[in-house]
Structure 1
């Protein structure tokens, strides 16, 4: 019995030793020239437009990068993202990301105004004085433009800035690009 186990163990070891010698491969390498450009790599001659030169949605298409070049966000972004990048480069906050007026408590006679380009806007109330309670989110719409915080009683009112009608409206929603082009001041 002991002899049989030893024979099997030796046979296994012998097969793995021979398999290792057969399985060994030579290591090869190749050189790659990283600074070489393909023959068809030509720089793009398309001029990058500035924020003040954007007049329509077609102006928000990026020229892209030449072949062989890693594109930047400015080279490849389109649409609202491109408009935001171009605005930030010129110091224009196109989405008006300033916080709401927290120096006072809104009342029904003098509510805190919340600007909106869409049908619905979410508003976070942190209380008066500021940070007196956790953030409570209110939803104000064009149908119900006034919202009141259940914790501190501050009143918020939606100031709708979007168009009253949109010729491209197929589903009851405005095109965000057409709203920005009609309302964004260009200095």
Structure 2
């Protein structure tokens, strides 16, 4: 009986499995047949049109450098030349920021978020603080460290309205109810 069941199981497996298995096939691309397209360096980027990749030659798979566009392309070109385009270094966590000497957070946009982990670093869980151009200073409610947004973007701003209309006011926070002398 046991032998009969084993024979049936083997027969089922053999009926499902193909008689000839396909081997792994690869294809090689002749590199001498591909036209040489020069990738511009970050110093050669002058306009937005320079941030479009050349694309891959027909019949090949594009690399990130060949297919990336916009800010992604700018970041890749910067990394190729050891330039940190977006300044991704961590903030100074060696000291407690004060109102007279805050920890500076650089931003090229209208608003910037910074994560405070306390002083010394990792003293408390990450608390995210939001800073804007109108309200550039924020204080961590856990450790009291003060952060200030330093705007480094373009000075002329044509889109400052944010689509909120002329009567829009920033929402109130607990900082609006603190006496001015405590600021």
TM (norm. structure 2) is 0.69
Is 1:129 matched with 2:120? yes
Matches of residues 36-185 of structure 1 in structure 2 within 5 Å?
43-166=34-157, 169=159, 172=162
What is the CA–CA distance in structure 1 between the aligned matches of 2:161 and 2:152, rounded to whole Å? 19
What is the CA–CA distance in structure 1 between the aligned matches of 2:71 and 2:105, rounded to whole Å? 21
What is the CA–CA distance in structure 2 between the aligned matches of 1:36 and 1:92, rounded to whole Å? 32
Larger RCO of the pair (alpha carbons < 8 Å, separation 6+):
1
| Structure 1 contact 44–65 (Cα < 8 Å) conserved | no
Computed over aligned residues only, the root mean square deviation of the Cα atoms, in angstroms, reads 3.3
List runs of 5+ in structure 1 lacking aligned partners.
1-25, 174-187
Matches of residues 2-41 of structure 1 in structure 2 within 5 Å?
34-35=27-28
The farther-off stretch of 45-54 and 77-86 is: 45-54
1:123 alignment partner, SS class: strand
What is the CA–CA distance in structure 2 between the aligned matches of 1:71 and 1:83, rounded to whole Å? 17
| Structure 2 contact 29–60 (Cα < 8 Å) conserved | no
List runs of 5+ in structure 2 lacking aligned partners.
1-18, 164-183
Q: Which has the larger radius of gyration?
A: 1
What is the CA–CA distance in structure 1 between the aligned matches of 2:142 and 2:46, rounded to whole Å? 44
Q: Per-residue CA shift, 1:45-97, capped at 9, x if unaligned?
A: 43210111111111111110111111110111011111101100110000000
2:100 alignment partner, SS class: coil
Q: CA deviation at 1:33?
A: 8.5
What is the CA–CA distance in structure 2 between the aligned matches of 1:43 and 1:171, rounded to whole Å? 50
Q: How many residues align?
A: 150
